[in-house]
Structure 1
Amino acid sequence: MSQQFILKVSELTKKVKYILESEMNTVWLTGEISNFIAASSGHWYLTLKDSKAQVRCAMFKSNNSKVKIKPANGQQVLVRARVSLYEPRGDFQLIIDQMDDAGAGLLQQEYDKLKAKLSAKGYFSQQHKQALPSTINTIGVVTSPTGAAIKDILSVLQRRSPQTNIIIYPALVQGQEAKFDIVTAITEANKRQECDVLIVGRGGGSLEDLWPFNEELVVDAIYQSTIPIISAVGHEIDTTLADYVADLRAATPSAAAELASTNILDIIDKTKQLELRMLRQFTNSSEKHHSLLSNLQHRLRRMHPEQYIITQQQRADDLIGRLTNAQQNKLNILAVPQQLLTQRIHKIPLHFDLAHKQEATKALHLRLMDAIKKQHENKQQAFVSTLEQLQLVSPLATIARGYSVTRNELSIVKSITQVNENDTINIQVADGNINAKVLNTSGQ
């Protein structure tokens, strides 16, 4: 045989594993648990069998932590698993990622299948849902007349809205015949058209107990109803297909009763608020009309002919008085003798006052010039004094007395440690600069 067709065992198991996992993918199957082991690692190992065959299975910790049942030997279960191969031993096995009790698991599969079918037909679409009426006078209830649900609903309505009418359409809500009863009750309520909204539901229970509300007949009856329907099936964690298709879903029957009713205390409070609003509007309207009437009466009095004549007479009297006073003032002014005016003019010594002002102005000018001159001299003396003081402390004055300043390339040389032999230095003297080279240095 050609060398290329000879495989190692590990290569064979790897190929078989690849073929199984790629071809079979995920499968659902039912069987009885045997040889169940819960390993310390948290993984489960078991065998699934029926009367004719068995297969090894493993369920890892990340998946078995989500399982709601407690598996045990002899238990019938429904599992979803991936077909695989355990390479070290070459054992065919299943890797389980979901496990349920066989009965509940099959129901869940049926539930998911019907949900997908009805969703595709548009049963759960929001555009088909009806809004609850703004005013609800009569509430219909489709449920068992002896169950806990009707007691809860009646209790809530009695407390919140005792004025609301209640019509019970009795129906079985559990068992094989329940779906027919529920459909009949919904159909009857739509035929009689005597309630504004319909509550359809029951108390809590297992998936099997609530199954009538997952039946296609019931879902279709709710979908076809012209009366808005509130579903109230089980507890808050329970969800049925009736919840999806209903116009509104309530977590519990009690919650449905609250959604469908208006609290009588709210009605009383709203009535009181409306009464206060009406009273305020009446008071405001009354005050507004009273004010308008007073304004009209005032305008009428002002527009009365007698009032107009009185006003004109008063204005005429005022004008006559003003004219008389003006004439008298004019006569008084003209009566003043011209001589008095001439005398007053001559009494004012204009030439004397002008000469006096000129003399004062000259005196002030002289004083100003003297002050400016004196201040200028003081500033000049201060400047000369400052220059003399500056000259005394100037380095240039020190150099002029025979001293010099030596610099290297970096700074002023203050120590022989700042220069080395053959360094170039600059020496500043009074009349210029000398460039020199260091031959040697010696300390004191």
Structure 2
Amino acid sequence: MYTSTSTQRNILSVAKLNKMVGSLLKTHVGQVWISAEISNFVAAASGHWYFTLKDRDAQVKAAMFKGANGRIAQRPKEGDSVLVRANVGLYEPRGDYQIIVEHLEFDGAGLLKQQYEQLKNALQAEGLFATQTKQAIPQDIKTVGIITSATGAALHDITTVLKRRNPMINVIVYPTQVQGAAAAAQIVNAIFIANRRREVDVLIVGRGGGSLEDLWCFNEETVARAIFGSHLPIVSAVGHEVDVTIADFVADLRAATPSQAAELVSSDLGDVIYTIEQWRQRLTQAISTKLNECDYQQQLLGSRLQQNHPQQRLQQQAQAIDHFTMQLQHNMQRRLQVAQQRQQHLENRLQHLSPIHLVSQSQQHTHTLTERLRQAMANRLTHQQQRFAKVTGILHSVSPLATLSRGYSISFVDNHVVNTTSTIKEGDTLTTRLTDGEVTSKVERISAVK
């Protein structure tokens, strides 16, 4: 008989068992997000909250300690829909499985925030927020494109600022919805159209402030990827300064408000005029300085010219020109004599080696070859004509038309040649080809030749 000892059974105490289970839950499950409904809420005198999280199929006990719930502005109540971030654990004294809530949000807004954080982290890891991928905003902007609602306050704010700062800037509006289910697709399409037309220097994409739900189209992945893929630089101007969307992270430049976006893409006309005036003054001063320098140089050169009169140098130059002229004439005459002598020598050699005899021989040989070629071509043509006539006779002898001319005929059924009685049946229509035409007949009886 087998008898096991206590060491072989690895006997545990209840406390140790609960501690092991709690450690396993904390290690292998860890932190989770849970969307559920509040039930059995109790606020203890210690400041801790105890409640049950439930949905249609199950429930779990939860605790939120004073340090965590102190950050919640509104105390939850029975029936509230919440989103919580919690750690899974075990209350060891009673062995009760429970979750320890660290963060709690109401009415589904938390779910949107969770989706926001998940997409933000994914796009950031993919490199869509990287600084090195962002395009520089042009300095000399002549045309600004605006992607926003045609009736929203954002458009009015942007155009007002642009008109005040620099009325010379052109504005092209790509009207879209900026709230609702269709907004994201319209924003993506507007970015595509602006890039295809290439009629603006920079794009402002945005709207006025609102709730997370109102601004959600600017947190859509399609909008983020359209902004990232734009060849035109994009300034994101969504909401107020406290509102930050995923579009802000992807855009080449983020403006806290639509009005600030207009300021970022426009230079103040007053500043431009002031700069031009500064440059005009500097240019005037530089020209005046340069003219003074030239006047001084002119006076200096005039003084040196008077001290070194050019008359003597002109005489020396004239004498040098006469010397070079005579030397040039002498050289030209000598080269001309050498050229004449060489020409005479070449003429003598040319007469000695005249090609007239060679040309005559070549012409006679060419004539002989031409006659031989003509005769060979005539013989070849006669031979081919005879051969063609022979082949034509042979071909005619085996032609079906020759066979027909000897009294034979060919019958067809549906364009197929009839060569046996098995290929036709009573009622079939036969087309019979004779030497001078065709005859159509109908089969009434078939008899085989014995």
Both proteins in one fold, TM over 0.5: yes
Q: What is the distance in 2 between the residues matched to 1:37 and 1:161?
A: 62
User: Is 1:232 matched with 2:232?
Assistant: no
Q: Relative to structure 1, is the Cα distance of residues 303 and 86 closer, same or farther in structure 2, using a 3 angstrom cutoff?
A: same
Please tell me whether the aligned partners of residues 69 and 100 of structure 1 are also in contact (alpha carbons under 8 angstroms): no
1:284 to 285, 289, 299: 289
Q: After the TM superposition, which of the residue ranges 221-230 and 4-13 deviates more from structure 2?
A: 4-13
- Which string of whole-angstrom CA distances, capped at 9 and with x for unpartnered residues, describes residues 198-217 of structure 1? 00011111111111111122
Give the whole-Å Cα distance in 1 for the aligned partners of 2:99 and 2:222: 38
Query: Is the counterpart of residue 186 in structure 1 residue 191 in structure 2?
Result: yes
Q: Which amino acid aligns with 2:61?
A: R
Q: CA-atom RMSD, angstroms? A: 2.3
2:20 aligned to 15, 18, 35, which one? 15
Identify the residue that residue 113 of structure 2 maps to in structure 1.
108
How many angstroms apart in 1 are the aligned matches of 2:145 and 2:178?
16
Alignment of 1:177-326 (within 5 A): 177-303=182-308
Alignment of 1:369-380 (within 5 A): none
Aligned amino acid, residue 25 of structure 2? L
CA contact (8 A) 1:28 1:80 kept: yes
Structure 1 residues 121 and 20: CA distance shift in structure 2, 3 A = closer
Residue identity matched to 2:122: K
- 1:94 — aligned with what? 99
- The one-letter amino acid paired with 2:123 is L
Deviations 1:133-168 (A, max 9, x none): 121001010000111111211121122111111111
Q: The residue matched to 1:298 in structure 2 has which SS?
A: helix
Counterpart of 1:44? Answer: 49
Once residues 163 and 69 of structure 2 are traced to their aligned partners in structure 1, the CA distance between those partners, rounded to angstroms, is 47
> 2-side partners of 1:271 and 1:258: how far apart?
20
Q: For 1:266, what is the secondary structure of its paired residue?
A: helix
Q: Distance in 1 between matches of 2:219 and 2:148?
A: 15
Q: For 1:128 and 1:201, locate their aligned partners in 2 and report how far apart those are by CA, in whole Å.
A: 21
Does 1:72 find its partner at 2:82? no
* Contact 1:46-1:57 at 8 Å conserved across structures: yes
Q: CA deviation at 1:102?
A: 4.9
Contact 1:140–1:198, Cα closer than 8 Å, also in 2: yes
Give yes or no for contact 1:231–1:242 (8 Å, CA) kept in 2: yes
Aligned partner of residue 85 in structure 1, secondary structure: strand
TM-score relative to the length of structure 1: 0.64
1:258, CA displacement in angstroms?
A: 0.8
Cα deviation, residue 183, structure 1: 1.3
- Report the CA distance between 1:121 and its aligned residue: 3.5
* Other structure's SS at 2:303 match: helix
Counterpart-to-counterpart distance in 2, 1:240 and 1:278:
47
Q: CA deviation at 1:6?
A: 5.0
Q: Following TM superposition, by how much is the alpha carbon of 1:305 offset from its aligned partner in structure 2, in angstroms?
A: 9.8
- Based on CA coordinates, which of the two structures has the bigger radius of gyration? 1
Tell me which amino acid in the other structure corresponds to 2:211.
S
1:363-422 Cα deviation digits (max 9, x unpaired):
xxxxxxxxxxxxxxxxxxxxxxxxxxxxxxxxxxxxxxxxxxxxxxxxxxxxxxxxxxxx
Q: CA deviation at 1:173?
A: 0.2
Unaligned runs of 5+ in 2: 312-450
Residue 60 (structure 1) aligned to one of 61, 65, 87: 65
- The separation in 2 between residues aligned to 1:80 and 1:305, in whole angstroms, is 100
Letter in 2 for 1:104: A
What secondary structure is seen at the aligned counterpart in 2 of 1:135?
coil
CA distance in 2 between counterparts of 1:105 and 1:289 reads 77
Query: Percent of aligned positions with the same letter in both sequences?
Result: 52
Q: Which residue number in structure 2 is paired with residue 314 of structure 1?
A: none
* Native 8 Å contact 1:138 1:164 kept in 2: yes
How many residues align? The count is 306
- The 3 A distance-change label for structure 1 pair 68 and 151 is farther
* Structure 2 counterpart SS, 1:277: helix
C-alpha distance in 2, partners of 1:294/1:71?
A: 95
* Alignment CA distance shift 1:177-1:288 (3 Å): same
- Which of 83, 86, 89 does residue 81 from structure 1 map onto? 86
Runs (5+) with no aligned partner, structure 1: 307-444
Secondary structure of residue in 2 paired with 1:204: coil
